[in-house]
Structure 1
Amino acid sequence: MTEPLRLEDYVRRTLLARVYDVAVETPLEEMSQLSRRFKNRIWLKREDLQPVFSFKIRGAYNKVAQLTREEQQKGVICASAGNHAQGLALSASRLGIRGTIVMPQTTPDIKVNAVKALGGHVVLHGDVFDEAATYARQLAAEKGYSFIHPYDDLDVIAGQGTVGLEILRQHAGPIDAIFIPVGGGGLMAGIAAYVKYLRPDIRIIAVEPEDAACLDAAMKAGERVVLPQVGLFADGVAVAQIGEETFKVARQCVDEVITCSTDEICAAIKDIFEYSRSIAEPAGALSLAGLKKYVQKHGVEGQTLIAIDSGANMNFDRLRHISERTELGEKREAIFAVTIPEKPGAFRTFCQTLGKRNITEFNYRYADHNDAHVFVGIQLRGGDAERQELRDTLEKKGYRVLDLSDDEMAKLHIRHLVGGHAGLADEHLYRFEFPERPGALLNFLSRLGGHNISLFHYRNHGDAFGRVLVGMQVGKKTKADLVASLDAVGYPWSEETGSPAYQLFLR
């Protein structure tokens, strides 16, 4: 990698970037309803309106266009199952050169077909992205193709920087902060370098998912770090390590890093839909989620804040999961486990205590002659303050209350499993993320080493991975044997045996 450039060098590259042969200048639109709600002027940069529904076309095209004619004639290659793949496919097609896209064999057909429709030559290789990336670099060396990195490249960064160029041209007045989604950091680096050079007064806020916050980790450590694992919900920014060149820019230009939960991202997707009737992908709505969190954290009012809607490439099936989590993300629903008396009229009395609030979900299970455990969802209007007030009210009435609103296992699995106690003394509970590929379950079962499965709950909503809750009995072996078997499977896992939700509803 080259020595770090001065900001003026990034600006020069951005001004000379060739993107508009294929990309379009996207609108900057004020979200009037959200502006009134949050008492700030909130603007959305609509990169979801690009020809490939993502900003990635800018950097990919600029990089390919900057190659020599000889390099172009040899062809270009990348490894991607997402927006970079489509951006490179269209870029190569427009320039009349061969564009090869290596994708994992597990890539959904909808993404493979999208790349082919844009003129890309698709090669399916490996079960995971790392295997596809290694093979792509191998082909580049063997065939003489130019490997096009999705973010850690100066020409790619400069292409993405044209988003910042457009923002400053489209909004000549005061801008207090720009919120940018971060995966590998190409979009962040391009916008941040350009904006900070011309308008150093504008705050640059990087936004990441809580479970894939590689920039936040690097900023805290003072150096690039590799996350042991990353969450895949916002797959467009699911990167384990920030780019080398992009991190140099971040250290100089980023004022703050904000991380957002899955629920907060889902709420932002809904906000964008209600404003534009368009559906952002999770990574596309990430910066708006960060903007909302920034306003609430700092209590700012009357400011001009801009979020980047970076893309809209999402499988339709994922909308089920998103809609389910939106109310929680907007703090409009509380999930409680409440112990009520096991006697006639107890449910009616409980509902009277809740007052006129709507019950969104109610799961009941007999516990013993004296008590019943209730898994209940309750609609809120006043956010966390109302949630705490409601809990206090219930406890003053003598109910035992457990707040599960932030319990990931309860939201993903328990609410769908309430209904039976196994009573197994040696049962242990684990939560997994299974890759969505043929043989994933068989691989899991074959490596368990004879441990008996006592519970199994699987959920998938069009993601690259499935969410799995598994109960297993230790039997004649030790807990250490069981843990060793789980590690051998190779899937991310966490133990949930101590979860209060599990103890109440399933144990």
Structure 2
Amino acid sequence: MPQSYIKRILDARIYDLAVETPLDDAPLLSERTENNVLLKREDLQPVFSFKVRGAYNKLLQLTEEERARGVIAASAGNHAQGLALSAKHLGVTAIIVMPRTTPSIKVDAVKRHGGKVVLQGDTYDEASAYAQALVAEKGMIYIPPYDDPDVIAGQGTVAMELLRQHPAHIDAVFIPVGGGGLCAGMAAYIKFVRPQTKVFAVEPEDAACLKAAMKHKRRVVLDEVGIFADGVAVAQIGEETFRVIKDCIDGVITVSTDEICAAIKDIFEDTRSIAEPAGACSLAGLKKYVDSEGITGQTLVAVHSGANTNFDRLRYISERTEIGEGREAVFAVVIPEKPGSYKKFCSLLGKRSVTEFNYRYSDSGQANIFVGLQVNPYKNERQELFETLTKKGYFVVDMTDNEVAKLHIRHMVGGHAPKELDNEVVYRFEFPERPGALYKFLDKLAGRWNITMFHYRNHGAAFGRVLVGMQVPPEEREEVEQSLRELNYPYTEETDNEAYRFFLA
């Protein structure tokens, strides 16, 4: 029974290495959701993840003879770091098998903590199989990342701290799930001490092994596992963890990549820390629960489980955040191919900030444009804008939930112009990032000269970068230059640029 874990958790003597992490308020998110939202900051552990708790507790239970043989583990990164640091602390040799897809920041951290890294396979399960083979070959002790009572008990100390730090009532706690060690330990403790507190497991939609197990009432193996949230990218829930979890949780919530990215932003804005995708998973679940259930006035806790992510992933995360928060709408729109069409179209957008605008001339009849816009998710602006454009006679397709559009097409709109297009000149601009900047440009130029190409993306800086093509007869070039100078936007002519000539002219 899960109650058997209470003594194990209380007896875990891990605090000569692990630290008691704070339970922080999330004031901005609390105000926005009209709930008291708290974050359990496991990103502040020595290895920036809760995993050090379970790994160290497991090593403490080994005999001196077992420690002398050395330890081995398979991990996507956080368990690896926790075990490497724990082994170094106790003077134990540690070999860590990691998938080749593991972010380099985690691989480097394991090496820095004294662990020997072996890269094998593309998923955790492939790495685990190889680690088991090494156990048989070398006679070392295998340290599971989650499916072990001592590891589970170590992770359960997060809940012990949480309930001590917040003695008042907690309505619900949201816990990320991969293999289930953290959720099993925390859920067992919470349900024993405060059974009235709800516990929700949260996992990615593309790695929902617990949801599948709960549905079938047995452990199942997923055919495919998404690896965006690599810390919870597991194809099958653990045997022991599932035995505990199935009796201790109030539900499973699955979240999308966009929702995780939005939660990463929320955590940053409230704490100035950057969560890894798995680390923000629980907050994404909390927000989804609040939205679906209409919850207000409750105390809700999400476990910020880790902050080990590669810096270069932030570009992708930032790009997906606005859509994940429901703050960006992406439309494909057909407008007439004639001077003034862009200005008329943009006038219907009102004061909304344009996040992206892509177009390339294809024929003289109509223009297909790809546009992203900031919208207020709480006022249904996305649907209102769609209806407004449709009523004005535009053919509009909502691409906001289209993965191909978001991942690929938005970067591929364009190509070479048709042969009949002549007198095209190209300019590169810096627009100030404020509502109305695009309309000001179009008001000055688009009614006179036909726009043949337009590419703009908001990158969150003070200035947006824009590439524009226009049909301008040679005798009107000086007039265009004069209009550009009057705009007072920094610009450079790029008509002779090699990249334009090679791919777009």
Q: TM-score range by the shorter chain?
A: 0.7 to 0.9
Aligned-pair CA distance for 1:81? 3.5
Structure 2 residue 74 is matched with structure 1 residue 79: yes
- Name the CA distance, whole Å, in 2 between partners of 1:73 and 1:229: 38
Counterpart in the other structure of 1:193: 188
For the 8 Å contact 2:259–2:324, the answer to whether it is kept is yes
Counterpart in the other structure of 1:50: 45
Which of 342, 348, 352 pairs up with 1:353?
348
Structure 2 residue 381 is matched with structure 1 residue 419: no
For the 8 Å contact 2:204–2:281, the answer to whether it is kept is yes
Aligned-pair CA distance for 1:383? 4.5
Counterpart in the other structure of 1:40: 35
Aligned-pair CA distance for 1:270? 0.7
For the 8 Å contact 1:330–1:383, the answer to whether it is kept is no
Farther off after superposition, 187-196 or 246-255: 246-255
Q: How does 1:283-362 map to 2 (within 5 A)?
A: 283-362=278-357
Residue type at the aligned position of 1:96: G
- Name the CA distance, whole Å, in 2 between partners of 1:111 and 1:346: 51
Could you list the runs of 5+ residues in structure 1 that have no partner in the other structure?
1-5, 424-507
Residue type at the aligned position of 2:315: R
Farther off after superposition, 138-147 or 168-177: 138-147
Structure 2 residue 246 is matched with structure 1 residue 257: no
Counterpart in the other structure of 1:101: 96
Residue deviations 1:340-384 (CA, integer Å, cap 9, x gap) = 111211111101111221211111133433211110001112447
- Name the CA distance, whole Å, in 2 between partners of 1:422 and 1:364: 11
Counterpart in the other structure of 1:113: 108
Q: 1:318–1:199: structure 2 CA closer, same or farther, 3 Å change rule?
A: same
Which of 137, 141, 157 pairs up with 1:142?
137
Q: How does 1:166-185 map to 2 (within 5 A)?
A: 166-185=161-180
For the 8 Å contact 2:124–2:234, the answer to whether it is kept is no
Counterpart in the other structure of 1:68: 63
Residue type at the aligned position of 1:365: R
Residue type at the aligned position of 2:109: A
Residue type at the aligned position of 1:151: Y
Farther off after superposition, 132-141 or 85-94: 132-141
Structure 2 residue 149 is matched with structure 1 residue 154: yes
Residue type at the aligned position of 1:375: F
- Name the CA distance, whole Å, in 1 between partners of 2:106 and 2:82: 12
Q: 1:286–1:367: structure 2 CA closer, same or farther, 3 Å change rule?
A: same
Aligned-pair CA distance for 1:134? 2.3
Aligned-pair CA distance for 1:422? 12
Farther off after superposition, 66-75 or 303-312: 66-75
Aligned-pair CA distance for 1:106? 5.8
Residue deviations 1:40-61 (CA, integer Å, cap 9, x gap) = 1000000000000000000011
Counterpart in the other structure of 2:2: 7
Counterpart in the other structure of 1:236: 231
- Give the greater-gyration-radius structure (CA): 2
Residue type at the aligned position of 1:310: S
Residue type at the aligned position of 1:55: F
- Name the CA distance, whole Å, in 1 between partners of 2:164 and 2:103: 39
- Name the CA distance, whole Å, in 1 between partners of 2:293 and 2:101: 43
- Name the CA distance, whole Å, in 2 between partners of 1:126 and 1:355: 51
Q: How does 1:344-493 map to 2 (within 5 A)?
A: 344-383=339-378, 385-420=380-415
Secondary structure in 1 matching 2:380: helix
Residue type at the aligned position of 1:289: A
Which TM-score applies when normalising by structure 1? 0.80
Q: Taking every aligned residue pair, what percent have the same amino acid on both sides?
A: 68
Counterpart in the other structure of 1:278: 273
Residue deviations 1:5-30 (CA, integer Å, cap 9, x gap) = x2221111111113212100000011
- Name the CA distance, whole Å, in 2 between partners of 1:383 and 1:334: 13
For the 8 Å contact 1:332–1:383, the answer to whether it is kept is no
Residue deviations 1:304-349 (CA, integer Å, cap 9, x gap) = 0000000000000000001111111111110000111112111111
Counterpart in the other structure of 1:494: none
For the 8 Å contact 2:362–2:417, the answer to whether it is kept is no
- Name the CA distance, whole Å, in 2 between partners of 1:290 and 1:72: 39
Which TM-score applies when normalising by structure 2? 0.80
- Name the CA distance, whole Å, in 1 between partners of 2:118 and 2:378: 48
Which of 207, 210, 217 pairs up with 1:215?
210
Secondary structure in 1 matching 2:21: coil
Q: 1:290–1:384: structure 2 CA closer, same or farther, 3 Å change rule?
A: farther
Residue deviations 1:90-146 (CA, integer Å, cap 9, x gap) = 111111111111234565543332112111122344565444322221221222211
Residue deviations 1:406-436 (CA, integer Å, cap 9, x gap) = 111111100000014999xxxxxxxxxxxxx
Residue type at the aligned position of 2:319: E
Structure 2 residue 84 is matched with structure 1 residue 89: yes
For the 8 Å contact 1:331–1:384, the answer to whether it is kept is no
Aligned-pair CA distance for 1:216? 1.1
Counterpart in the other structure of 1:475: none
Secondary structure in 2 matching 1:174: coil
Q: 1:293–1:142: structure 2 CA closer, same or farther, 3 Å change rule?
A: same
For the 8 Å contact 1:18–1:61, the answer to whether it is kept is no
- Name the CA distance, whole Å, in 1 between partners of 2:129 and 2:273: 36
Secondary structure in 1 matching 2:59: helix
Secondary structure in 2 matching 1:200: coil
For the 8 Å contact 2:171–2:197, the answer to whether it is kept is yes
Which of 190, 199, 206 pairs up with 2:201?
206
For the 8 Å contact 2:76–2:231, the answer to whether it is kept is no
Counterpart in the other structure of 2:436: none
- Name the CA distance, whole Å, in 2 between partners of 1:210 and 1:88: 28
Could you list the runs of 5+ residues in structure 2 that have no partner in the other structure?
419-505
Aligned-pair CA distance for 1:262? 1.0
Q: 1:255–1:106: structure 2 CA closer, same or farther, 3 Å change rule?
A: closer
- Name the CA distance, whole Å, in 2 between partners of 1:58 and 1:174: 26
* Count of aligned residue pairs for this structure pair: 418
Secondary structure in 2 matching 1:364: strand
